[in-house]
Amino acid sequence: MKPIQSKEEYQSYVDDKTPNSPILKNCFNAFWVGGLICAIGQIIFGICTSRGIDETNSYTIVSMSLVFASAFLTALNVFNKIGKFAGAGSLIPITGFANSIVSPAMEYKSEGYVMGVGAKMFTVAGPVLVYGISTSIIVGLIYILFNTQSLILI
């Protein structure tokens, strides 16, 4: 090998040396686990609507059930194994959001229930709420500004 002259050269050499993630395997696992979680959600949704619960509330019940399942599996120290296997398959559904709240809550218990559990709970999920809520407020303001039916079809 020739001596490496620059940082750019080193970076591209390192990129060659570093093995890539097994992307096909990861995508396959993400697909079926993510799909399965959504399908379970759909089954819960079906049960709710068949009992006469309206659509909006049914979707909320689906979210809460999946959040509970995720929190439960996280508390049993199982969710991280699922996450390691499924990657985005368990991260992207609302299970991943719940796990990102529950896991730091458990982790920082040793720093107390206020500044540990209470404050650190949002280390990963906080940004999700910040950006999600801020975007929705901007959407609302734009809607007020342009109150045209073409903008909102929901």
Partner 1 sequence: MDWMMIFKAFIIGGIICVIGQILIDKTKLTPARILVAYVTIGAILGGLGIYKYLIDFAGCGATVPLTGFGSLLSKGTISEVQTTGFIGAFTGGIKSAAGGISAAIFFGYIASLVSKPKIKKQ
Partner 2 sequence: MKKVGNQSYILNKPVNIAATASIVGPKEKEGPLHQFFDQCLEDEFWGESSWEKAESKLVKETVSMAISKSGIASSDIDFCFAGDLLNQCIASSFGLRETNIPFIGLFGACSTFIESMIIASSLIDGDFATNTICTASSHFCSAEKQFRFPLELGNQRPPSSQWTVTGSGAAILTKEGTGPFITTFTPGKIVDMGIKDANNMGAAMAGAAEDTLITHFKDTGRNPNYYDVILTGDLGHIGKDILIDLASSKGYNIRANYNDCGVLMFDKEKQDTHSGGSGCGCIATVFSGYVYQMLQEKKYKKVLMIATGALMNSTSTQQGESIPGIAHAISIEL
Evaluate whether 84 touches 94 at the Cβ level (below 8 Å).
Answer: no
Nearer to partner 1, 10 or 140 (CB): 140
CA distance 152 to 147: 9
Nearer to partner 2, 110 or 148 (CB): 110
Output 17 or 51, the one with its CB closest to partner 2: 17
State residue 64 phi and psi, 5-degree precision.
-65, -40
Site string for partner 2, 106-125 (x = CB under 8 A): xxx-x------------xx-
Interface pattern 56-85 for partner 2 (x via CB under 8 A): ------------------x--x-xxxxxx-
Q: Could you say whether residue 42 binds partner 2 (CB under 8 A)?
A: no
Alpha carbon of residue 79 to chain centroid? 13
59 vs 53: CA distance, rounded Å: 10
d(CA 147, CA 66): 35
| Cα gap 121→105, rounded to integer Å | 5
Q: Give the Cα separation of 87 and 106 in Å (integer).
A: 21
Cβ proximity to partner 2: between 48 and 101 the closer is 101
The nearest distance, CB 68 to partner 2, in angstroms, is: 16
Q: Which residues bind partner 2 (CB under 8 A)?
A: 1-4, 7-8, 10-11, 13-14, 17-21, 26, 74, 77, 79-84, 86-87, 90-91, 96, 99-100, 102-104, 106-108, 110, 123-124
